[in-house]
A and B are shown apart, each in its own frame.
Chain A
Amino acid sequence: MNAILAVARGTFREAVRDRVLVLVLGFGAVVLAMSRLLAPIALGEGPRITVDLGLSALGLVGIAIVVLVGTQLVHKEIERRTIHVVLSRPVSRSEYLVGKWAGLTATMAVAVFGMGAMLAAIGTWVLGPSIVGPIVQAAFMIACANAILAALAVLFSSLSTPVLSVAYTLGLYATGYWTNDLRIFARQLPGLSGEVLNVMSYVLPNLDVFNLRSQVAYGEGASVLHLALGIGYAGAYVAAALALAVVAFERRELK
């Protein structure tokens, strides 16, 4: 456990000093500001547009950190051989990967919750304090969705090049919000292709579970059951992705 925390702290410290993070947060701040600028042309829906766009900005910042930092996390360490520094210590490869994921997730979560706090302040200004709770819930669910993508990014990064890892992670991010539609489509298809698509719709991460944007824009939060199921699903998916990463990484040559 100490080794995991040490690796996570090291990853966090390295990530927060990366200039990429500043750029991503700057981009998020610009989108947040734009959400207010667009309000006057939203035909009376200005406050809701503000929250909706703001939550989109949170999601984009989260996925940008996961993709830009996470997809090269392990690969960069292997290329530069800094991984030798870690794995020549009494640290197992599984502890290393879990620590990397934890550090990346912490970095992403701090950014998402930091921006969530800014959005909550703006939301309080335009919709009143009742919006704070739903925004916190939405930010939490965005962090859960990105924690899954972080685990997948660590998996790809430990096996592949950064370019391919970016492609895989973004591909899963895009399909992750369409798994329900994919399932419906699979039911329409006859035979084996329908079966395959159906299985895929369950294997791919269902990120739509974590999307509270529309309801929060109308000031509604999620039920406790929804939140609990989301946390459980995220935990299970992260555990499965990291277990796969560990199995694949265990015998990897670190030349």
Chain B
Amino acid sequence: MPSILKLDAHRRTPTNGTPVSTVRPASGHPAVQVEDLGKDFRHPWTRRVKTAVDTISFEVPEGQTFGLLGPNGAGKTTTLRMLLGLVPPTRGDARLLGRPAGTPESRQDVGFLPENPYFYDHLTALEFLEYSGELAGMSGKAARSQAAELVERVGLGSAARTRMRKYSKGMLQRAGLAHALMGRPRLLFLDEPMTGLDPIGRREVSDLIRELRRDGVTVVFSSHILHDVETLCDRVAILRAGRLLALGTLEQLLADGQGGAEMVIAPRGSLALPPEFVGATIEPAGPRTRIVLAEGGRASALVAWLVGQGHEIVTLSRERRSLEDLFMDMFQDAHEVGGDPERAAGEPVAAREAGR
């Protein structure tokens, strides 16, 4: 499998071709503004209404990498399609780069990689990218030049003149990424960008997203692969059954007194902790002593007290909750309380949201 980005092992920056995007000043508007957006689908025969996305609100400042996280059917793809005007919203408003979403103008600086992309059978990747560039408003010459650059960039150089009906799923995904990058967009929507890629391809896409962030491109991507979201995103929105369960930076979502702390000390004399650290467990560990705090947030205070008493801190480690822990807790709770995600979330999204 050809590589998407040929990276310098030390610099971790692309070494071939020109950048996929250029650093651009922020417009002053949030890249994405979503206010009380929702979508109901009505069955054409029974007229029964199914809510795909309940009323959700969030903002993505320019230059951020934002992850829409949730299981299948959570409403991630519908949210992206509403923002792009492919599906008209039932309620609410959205703006892309300050322009009302759904209008052609709002998509002027926007790139999109659809989920499980399927392109034109009879076109080659080069022709498809030229077409994509022309649709983005580029001249034929500029589109041809950028298409040639991007097929190399995404590792499709050797298959650039092969009709896409002969492409594997991974190759289509790469062609889709190149399509999304045509026209050097300021805002990129990637719907499940890692789907169909092997581990090397996934790594390369991750590196590409990091490169785009360095260039100031706002990336909004949906995924149910928690590791990708955890390693790439500045902020995350967690959706379930069309509702926003949580929104914030990873630090905010994974903090909240979650996770404990463990320290090993070389005690000087006897050790008796003051009452504010009641609940901490103290165990001998050879010549040393291990102290385990259930609430990691009080670790700093304990360290200060121990040092003040003349004890030597040998090691200190904080248990950090992973996104997977949060995700599993959130969705396990949802099952336990009868599938009501709002109750499962414990508190309203507004209260959980931070960092806007």
Binding site for B on A (CB under 8 A): 2-3, 5-7, 9-10, 13-14, 17-18, 80-82, 84-92, 95, 251, 253-255
Contact = CB atoms under 8 A, between A and B. Distances in A.
B120 A18 contact: no
B interface bracket (residues with beta carbon within 8 Å of A):
20 to 34
B338 to A, nearest CB: 29
B131 A253 contact: no
A10 B131 contact: yes
Given A3-B135, A14-B120, A14-B123, 9 more contacts: A6-B134, A81-B118, A82-B119, A87-B84, A87-B86, A89-B135, A89-B136, A254-B81, A255-B87
A82 B118 contact: yes
A2 B137 contact: yes
A253 B111 CA distance: 20
24 contacts: A3-B137, A6-B134, A6-B135, A7-B135, A9-B134, A10-B123, A14-B120, A14-B123, A18-B122, A82-B119, A84-B84, A84-B114, A85-B114, A87-B85, A89-B107, A89-B136, A90-B104, A90-B108, A92-B104, A95-B104, A253-B41, A254-B86, A255-B81, A255-B87
Contacts of B104: 3, 90-92, 95
A253 B44 CA distance: 12
B243 interface: no
Contacts of A82: 118-120
A2 B41 contact: no
Contacts of B131: 6, 9-10, 13
Contacts, number: 83
B105 interface: yes
Interface string B83-109: 011111000000000000000110110
A13 B112 contact: no
Q: Which has the most chain B C-beta neighbours within 10 Å: A2, A84, A88?
A: A88
Q: Which has the most chain A C-beta neighbours within 10 Å: B41, B81, B134?
A: B134
Contacts of B112: 84-85, 88
Nearest to B134: A6
B122 A253 contact: no
B86 A2 contact: no
Contacts of B183: 89
Contact of B107 (A7, A81, A88): A88
Contacts of A90: 104-105, 107-108, 135-137
A16 to B, nearest CB: 9
Contact of A13 (B88, B114, B127): B127
A13 B134 contact: no
B240 interface: no
Nearest to B133: A6
Contacts of A10: 120, 123, 131
A13 B120 CA distance: 10
Contacts of A6: 131, 134-135
B179 interface: yes
B132 interface: yes
B137 to A, nearest CB: 6
Q: Which has the most chain A C-beta neighbours within 10 Å: B81, B110, B179?
A: B81
Contacts of B107: 88-91
A253 B118 contact: no
A253 B120 contact: no
A113 B183 CA distance: 36
A252 to B, nearest CB: 9
A144 to B, nearest CB: 28
Nearest to A7: B135
Given A10-B120, A13-B122, A18-B122, A91 B87 contact: no
A79 to B, nearest CB: 9
